[in-house]
Amino acid sequence: KLIAAALVGTMVLTMAGCTSKTAETTGSEASSDAAGGTLVMATNAEFPPYEYYEGENVVGIDADIAAAVADKLGMELKIEDMAFDSIIPAVTSGKADIGLAGMTVTEDRLENVDFSDTYAHATQVVIVKEDSDIASPDDLEGKKIGVQLGTTGDIYAGDIKDATVERYNKGSDAIQALKTGKIDCVIIDKQPAEAFVEKNDDLKILDDTFDAEEYAICIAKD
């Protein structure tokens, strides 16, 4: 009986090996008309918990989603880290197959790319120093506001009367500028804001937020 069980076990393992091999082969054949077996994801890996570095690797919610998509397509995932405002150009030029970067679906972006179904809800929040006189987004008139270049936070800040908008490539650079008093606040997506504030006791997030937004994967229109 024991020998029989061992043999069955060996067979199952052997068959499992065959199955995954077949899946790989089918995958690379299926993908030959897509990206030659590699799914290239463009992102800006400065946006925890969606994308950030763990050692040399880009990890996070978006990296996990892309890995699951690549797996389903039988493709190998390659992540390209770039400035946030380079992601859509990378996708439209075909340098990347997908843009996954906690990217909000906006009318403007829809003119250049298509979006998948949305996968997360978000809002823009305001981060200030603990002792700030700014108590709500209504107090931002005439203030120095830090944002990430080309993001929805950048768009909102641009609409605020008499405000000076300082644009940074990384959320963490905006946070640093806020801590050293170069700017009065930072407008950024809520989840990265929480990740930044958790590491900085001298900062807080205001309760009031801007309008609701939705994240989706962007792909070329064709």
Cα separation, 217 vs 222, in Å, equals 15
Backbone angle region of 38, left / alpha / beta, with phi > 0 → left and psi within -120 to 50 → alpha: beta
| Residues within window 186-215 making contact with ligand GLN, judged by CB under 6 A | 189
- Nearest distance from C-beta of residue 84 to ligand GLN, angstroms: 5
Under the binding rule (CB under 6 A), the answer on residue 146 touching ligand GLN is: no
Q: Which two tokens stand for residue 125?
A: 């929040």
Distance, C-alpha 212 to centroid of its chain: 17
Tell me the HSE value of 33 on the side-chain side, using a 13 A CA sphere. Answer: 2
The residue from 103, 145, 147, 165 that contacts ligand GLN (CB under 6 A) is 103
- Nearest distance from C-beta of residue 122 to ligand GLN, angstroms: 6
Task: With beta carbons less than 8 A apart as the criterion, state whether 106 and 112 touch.
Answer: no
Region near ligand GLN per CB under 6 A, out of 53-61, 128-136, 145-153, 203-211: 145-153
Under the binding rule (CB under 6 A), the answer on residue 101 touching ligand GLN is: yes
Under the binding rule (CB under 6 A), the answer on residue 31 touching ligand GLN is: no
Handedness of CA 91, 121, 174, 170 (dihedral sign): negative
Under the binding rule (CB under 6 A), the answer on residue 151 touching ligand GLN is: yes
Residues that bind ligand GLN (CB under 6 A): 44, 47, 84, 101-104, 122, 148, 151-152, 189
